[in-house]
Amino acid sequence: MEKEVKMTHKGRRLFITGIPTSGKSYLAKRLAESIGGVAVLLDDLRESLCDDEKYKKWVNFYLDQNEKEYLTKTSNEDMWKNLVAQSEAIWPAFLNKINYYRDEVRPVIFECVNILPHLAKKNLDFDGVVLLGSSYEETLQRNIADPRWGNTLELQTLEAREFFFAERPRYRSEAEKYGYPVFETADEAFDILHKSFN
């Protein structure tokens, strides 16, 4: 069994994870600004790993697929397995980035879809929350407004279905299993988190 190694940090820390379009970045930035902290959007780190042979396969995993074929022919269970495989493969790079802030005395809020609850429980010594989005319709509209992958309405609709119907219940299940609070909206989470930091 792999040994759990927890990081230690000088200041308050929080991670935010969950499905795309759920408001993770918005929540991280809003919360950090309100408490004088730092928001670290780890999703942005993936771009810098594209040329690293150690991570290249999984960083580019989705971009290397025929998106329509992947989203129409892959089962919800296999979609989740692929997200887990990607998250676990690039987790060491994310841990390095998180550890970079170990001496930061201000609160630091880390945000990323790849901070899966089982990984956080194993290596992070701080709390986190999971954002799920409140409805499929909202997930779709947000994905159309700010596409995560495809550039057509058909692909954006397929993506939204993956986020809400394939990933959402599995994020919830992991969160409940490992004891992390679940929220449907960023505003709901903000009110509670802001109070806890103050």
**Which segments of the chain have a pLDDT < 70?**
1-9
Look at residue 42 in the predicted model and tell me its pLDDT.
Answer: 93
pTM over 0.85: yes
Pairwise CA distance, residues 172 & 174, whole Å: 6
Look at residue 4 in the predicted model and tell me its pLDDT.
Answer: 56
Query: CA distances (Å), 6 to each of 117, 125, 166, in order?
Result: 14, 6, 30
> Which of 191, 176, 157 minimizes the C-alpha distance to 31?
191
Residue 137 burial class via C-beta count within 10 angstroms: exposed 0-12, middle 13-18, buried 19 and up: exposed
Look at residue 2 in the predicted model and tell me its pLDDT.
Answer: 47
CATH, domain range 13-197: 3.40.50.300
